[in-house]
């Protein structure tokens, strides 16, 4: 397994020749130039990641990273941490919400235990435990820096394993009660925003619950004083193991040349951490939807990415990432169609 320093040093940039070849193929098809908008851009982005305009999306894997967050003790959620394990088991059994969506998208779902509280080994759940849940960020750091780095390295290693088993695209998801709190804390620090600006109701908090959540974030940031110029410091102090692992997945996508789909707010926070750790790593990231959480759009803006879907979703589990895969299939069907202007006997469009 590569160390974080090796991962960061070995990431190179996009293949611009492959991107240009993909765009040229789009422009040769019998349709107005650029008329499929972000769908065309998405395939060009995939070509630049893989290094080839001959795009295939036949083998898809949705990695759902699962972990528990000690900040739940502060009453920032509607339910307790035991729900994380229940959903992880449902993911492994193919019964969770995203599993039904993923079947429609022909995507394998792989739940990964990054650090669920008191979770026993379960068939179908990959064991990558770093620790038994994080500490309460209102009382001190979520984890040690060493643990955070290890979680990031494990995330990158997941991409290598998926690529070796044939994955042509990876979608990201997460499951962890309390992780909209940790993600909002990250957003507050990395985007230099007040917790009030970036914190939402998560799974449906009342006004009083939202106030408790914001207050917990304020206490955590004031106590831990995370350094916004050091993403590892920020994740280790106010983040979570799911976010750290996802950060590694995004870095792994850039390293191993596999396109990785961002889900929503939480994976967006991890993606931003990855881009701050290794500027330019976002070339391997594909946006899916814009989360209904307040910072969902802000994260994508900071990454310079535009969502393909705006549906007010806030489920998590990788649901937005799964939902975008059929759109990419449709784009690929047109891209591969060979329906050029010449074949139809009409003049090609040219820029005017």
Contact (CB, 8 A) for 238 and 218: no
Distance of alpha carbon 317 from alpha carbon 319, whole angstroms: 6
Residues forming a β-bridge with 101: none
Whose CA is closest to 351, among 74, 34, 2? 34
153 catalytic, yes or no?
no
Burial of 84 by CB count in 10 Å (0-12 exposed, 13-18 middle, 19+ buried)? Answer: buried
**H/E element, 112:** strand 107-115
> Exposed (0-12), middle (13-18) or buried (19+): which is 164, by Cβ within 10 Å?
exposed
Cα of 229 vs its chain's centroid, Å: 21
Q: What is the Cα Rg of the chain in Å? A: 20
Residue 49, both tokens: 């990641």
Instruction: Sort residue 318 into left (φ over 0), alpha (ψ -120 to 50) or beta.
Output: left
d(CA 98, CA 289): 15
Distance CA 82, CA 80 (A): 5
CB atoms within 10 A of CB 111: 29
**Sheet hosting strand 285-286, strand order edge to edge:** 126-127, 107-115, 60-67, 169-175, 260-261, 285-286
Among 307, 273, 313, which residue's Cα sits nearest to residue 289? 307
Catalytic residue among 153, 157, 282, 317: 317
The residue whose two tokens read 């925003």 is 193
First to last CA, the chain: 52
SS3 195: helix
Report, as residue numbers or ranges, the catalytic residues.
317
């Amino acid at each position: 397994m590569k160390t974080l320093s090796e991962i960061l040093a070995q990431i190179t940039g996009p293949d611009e020749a492959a991107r240009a070849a993909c765009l040229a193929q789009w422009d040769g098809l019998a349709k107005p130039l650029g008329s499929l908008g972000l769908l065309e851009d998405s395939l060009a982005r995939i070509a630049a990641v893989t290094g080839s305009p001959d795009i295939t999306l036949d083998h898809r894997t949705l990695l759902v990273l699962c972990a528990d967050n000690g900040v739940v003790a502060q009453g920032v959620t509607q339910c307790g941490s035991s729900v994380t394990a229940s959903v992880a088991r449902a993911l492994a059994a193919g019964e969770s919400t995203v599993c039904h969506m993923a079947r429609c998208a022909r995507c394998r779902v792989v739940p990964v235990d990054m650090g669920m509280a008191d979770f026993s080994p379960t068939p179908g759940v990959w064991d990558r435990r770093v620790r038994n849940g994080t500490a309460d960020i209102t009382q001190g750091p979520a984890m040690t820096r060493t643990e955070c780095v290890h979680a990031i390295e494990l995330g990158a290693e997941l991409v290598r394993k998926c690529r070796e088993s044939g994955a042509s695209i990876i979608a990201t998801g997460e499951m962890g009660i309390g992780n909209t709190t940790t993600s909002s804390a990250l957003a507050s620090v990395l985007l230099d925003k007040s917790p009030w600006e970036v914190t939402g109701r998560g799974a449906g908090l009342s006004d009083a619950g939202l106030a408790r959540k914001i207050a917990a974030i304020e206490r955590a940031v004031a106590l831990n004083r995370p350094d916004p110029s050091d993403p590892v410091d920020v994740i280790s102090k106010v983040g979570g193991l799911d976010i750290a692992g996802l950060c590694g997945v995004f870095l792994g996508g850039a390293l191993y040349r596999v396109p990785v789909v961002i889900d929503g707010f939480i994976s967006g926070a991890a993606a931003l951490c990855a881009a701050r750790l290794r500027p330019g790593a976002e070339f391997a990231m594909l946006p899916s939807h814009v989360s209904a959480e307040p910072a969902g759009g802000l994260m994508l803006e900071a990454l310079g990415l535009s969502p393909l879907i705006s549906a007010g979703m806030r489920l998590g589990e990788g649901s937005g990432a799964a939902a975008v895969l059929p759109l990419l299939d449709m784009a690929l069907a047109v891209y591969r169609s060979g329906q050029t202007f010449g074949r139809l006997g009409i003049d090609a469009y040219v820029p005017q």
